[in-house]
Amino acid sequence: MLDYLTSTIASTHILTGASATLLLGHLDVPSDAPALLGFVNDTLMSTYPPELRNNVSSMWLIHAAMRVVDTCPIKRLCEVVGSLQDGLSVWVADQHQVLTRKHLMWVVFVPSFHQLN
């Protein structure tokens, strides 16, 4: 169902962080919705750097994407991270210096360390 909704939203060619964040909130097993992960990846790439009016929704999308990574079963972690790699790497590289160091540490890196324990 999530992949169907994702493909319907993506077919409008309007990538929004709010749509991706909402759909991610209903994802139980990340690798079971490859279209959704692709949509989120594309949305992450297309929303960087965020317009001033989209800063908050962009941060929510990053939080949601990292929550998916953080809660992903270890057996599927490589697959999920691989699906989100391009979009997350744009934000982690942060060429426009949108994120503060605090954002980078707590939003991007800290949740992923939980998987390594």
Q: What is the pLDDT of residue 92?
A: 85
Q: How many domains does the chain have?
A: 1
User: What is the domain extent for residue 23?
Assistant: 2-116
Nearest of 60, 6, 2, 57 to residue 32 by alpha carbon: 2
- pTM listed for this prediction: 0.72
- What CA–CA distance (Å, rounded) separates 75 from 94? 29
Per-residue pLDDT of the chain (117 residues; tens, 9 = 90+): 555 655 655 555 455 566 677 667 666 666 567 888 888 899 899 999 988 888 888 888 888 888 888 888 888 889 999 999 999 999 989 999 888 877 777 665 655 555 555
Do the Cβ atoms of 100 and 112 come closer than 8 Å? no
**Contacts (Cβ under 8 Å, ≥6 apart) of 93:** none
